[in-house]
Amino acid sequence: MNIELIPWTQADPDDIARIFTDIDRSYLADGLPTPYTRADVERWLNETVLPNEGTRGLFRIIRVDGKCAGDVQLACKDGVYRRDADLGYVLLDEYKGQGVMTEAVGRICAETFDALDILRISARIYAPNIASRRVLEKNGFQLEGSMRQAVCKGDNIYDMLLYGRLREN
């Protein structure tokens, strides 16, 4: 299996729109448009990705054997949190359980620590999302705390877990 991380500027907007329309949203924030259109892709690309790529974050499409399979990204925070970056990722169901996201997260974390002036990477995960927790743990993230009953997703109330990984000195 060949896994590539491709900058958004090189990815096909129709494939990106399909990914963000077809992903399982069970453990995602509600703000993501559905369906996710080509216009949504272009807006995200022009307003967030292009102005910040390589300076305030890294944004990558995950390709598996040449096919768009998901997204992984890191966005730097501001103010007193400016040396921290938030990690986010999604993967189409047909690629889950094959180590794709574990590899993608490992790669983007290494690239981020090399490219950006940050000390840590943070990830917030809904407590029942065991697969995401495992991805983080396999990549050296540590559980740093939880916010009890912090997420209301549909009819469910979840704890929010905070994971962190520090730059290796």
Cis peptide before 35 (omega within 30 of 0): yes
Place of tokens 């590899």: 103
**Whole-angstrom Cα distance, residue 2 to residue 7?**
16
pLDDT at 29: 87
If residue 102 lies in a helix (H) or strand (E), which one and from where to where?
A: helix 100-115
| 31 touches 83 (CB < 8 A) | no
Checking if the pLDDT of 169 tops 80, the result is no
Q: For the whole model, what pTM was predicted?
A: 0.93
152 in helix, strand or coil?
Answer: strand
Specify whether the backbone of 29 is left (phi greater than 0), alpha (psi in -120 to 50) or beta.
beta
The pLDDT of residue 146 is: 98
